[in-house]
């Protein structure tokens, strides 16, 4: 059965293909043993903020799974701009460069780095309206670097996030806060997380259990440049339960406010609004 997809263009094996072309087979290492990394960037309103940083990160992720990063960062960026031209004016796109292993290496389990393949997939995905999300605490935890490659944007990490999101949505929430093995909040099931208390912005310190997101770093820098205090620190779920504001950062939606945590409603606060304005100004600068 073919699943309908939005308008999509994929660069693979030296050519652009439309739709959802098959790229792996049953013997492909990535299909059954998970040796795939990717990154996500955005095109919207005629801009592609931090595109180079996202392309650089997929190249940094590849060797952490035993893959060869065979496309230079600047070459990724050029391909992205070439691909964007295949859509209409000012498209809203998700931009996904990927590497994966085709064959097994010395053992049946490890990937053969010389078999690394790549593609660049661009597809229409509207930017979320930014109306806000509800959040709760997940019973599932983030792994540590000694158990999973959490320092890479690796596909094998996402089934854990998916089950956390599914469990939260079954309880009537849009997203969930996930803790590390010590019980400290790490991130949302799909984005980095911030909270505000008495005018101070706080976010979980990057402790090796989640990706220090490109948009996360950008927003921290923009807020500090404006003179707003941002603390990267250890936070418990109780801190978020008593927060004045909660908002997320991530590539897919950029910034979104939380409007409910468990049974407590939250207002879309002034610092979130300022962060969003600062980010949009940066994106269009």
pTM over 0.85: yes
Residues 62 and 79 in one domain: yes
- Look at residues 124, 157, 189 and tell me which one is the last residue of a structural domain: 124
The CATH number linked to 139 is 3.20.10.10
Residues 13 and 139 in one domain: no
In a domain, 111, yes or no: yes
- Look at residues 98, 124, 150 and tell me which one is the last residue of a structural domain: 124
In a domain, 3, yes or no: no
Residues 94 and 158 in one domain: no
Residues 115 and 198 in one domain: no
Residues 180 and 197 in one domain: yes
The CATH number linked to 27 is 3.30.470.10
Residues 277 and 143 in one domain: yes
The pLDDT, as a whole number, for residue 4 is 75
In a domain, 1, yes or no: no
Cα three-residue angle 214-45-84, rounded to 5 degrees: 80
**Closest alpha carbon to 150 in 244, 224, 222, 213:** 213
Residues 72 and 99 in one domain: yes
Residues 186 and 232 in one domain: yes
* Residue range(s) defining the domain that contains residue 94: 8-124
Indicate the number of domains in the chain: 2
Residues 177 and 261 in one domain: yes
For the chain, which ranges sit under pLDDT 50? 1-2
Cα–Cα distance for residue pair 253/231, rounded to 1 Å? 23
Residues 49 and 115 in one domain: yes
- Look at residues 124, 151, 183 and tell me which one is the last residue of a structural domain: 124
In a domain, 2, yes or no: no
Cα–Cα distance for residue pair 66/104, rounded to 1 Å? 11
Q: How many CA atoms lie within 13 A of 82 on its CB side?
A: 14
The pLDDT, as a whole number, for residue 1 is 42
In a domain, 103, yes or no: yes
Residues 170 and 233 in one domain: yes
- When computed from its CA atoms, the radius of gyration of the chain, rounded to whole angstroms, is 19
């Amino acid at each position: 059965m073919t699943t309908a997809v939005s308008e999509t263009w994929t660069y693979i094996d030296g050519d652009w293909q439309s739709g959802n072309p098959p790229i792996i087979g049953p013997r492909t290492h990535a299909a059954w043993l998970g040796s795939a990394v990717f990154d996500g960037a955005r095109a919207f309103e005629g801009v592609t903020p931090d595109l180079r940083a996202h392309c650089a990160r997929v190249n940094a992720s590849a060797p952490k799974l035993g893959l060869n990063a065979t496309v230079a960062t600047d070459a990724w960026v050029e391909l992205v701009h070439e691909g964007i031209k295949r859509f209409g004016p000012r498209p809203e796109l998700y931009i996904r460069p990927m590497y994966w292993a085709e064959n097994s290496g010395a053992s049946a389990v490890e990937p053969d780095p010389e078999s690394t393949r790549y593609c660049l997939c661009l597809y229409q995905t509207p930017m979320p309206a930014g109306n806000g999300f509800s959040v709760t605490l997940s019973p599932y935890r983030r792994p540590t670097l000694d158990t999973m490659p959490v320092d890479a944007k690796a596909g094998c990490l996402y089934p854990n996030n998916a089950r956390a999101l599914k469990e939260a949505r079954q309880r009537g929430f849009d997203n969930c806060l996930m803790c590390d093995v010590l019980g400290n909040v790490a991130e949302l099931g799909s984005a980095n997380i911030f909270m505000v208390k008495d005018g101070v912005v706080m976010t979980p310190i990057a402790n090796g259990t989640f990706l220090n997101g490109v948009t996360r770093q950008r927003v921290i820098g923009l807020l500090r440049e404006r003179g707003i205090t941002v603390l990267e620190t250890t936070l418990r779920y109780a801190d978020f339960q008593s927060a004045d504001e909660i908002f997320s950062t991530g590539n897919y939606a950029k910034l979104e406010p939380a409007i409910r945590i468990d049974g407590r409603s939250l207002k879309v606060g002034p610092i979130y609004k300022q962060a969003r304005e600062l980010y949009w100004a940066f994106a269009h600068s």
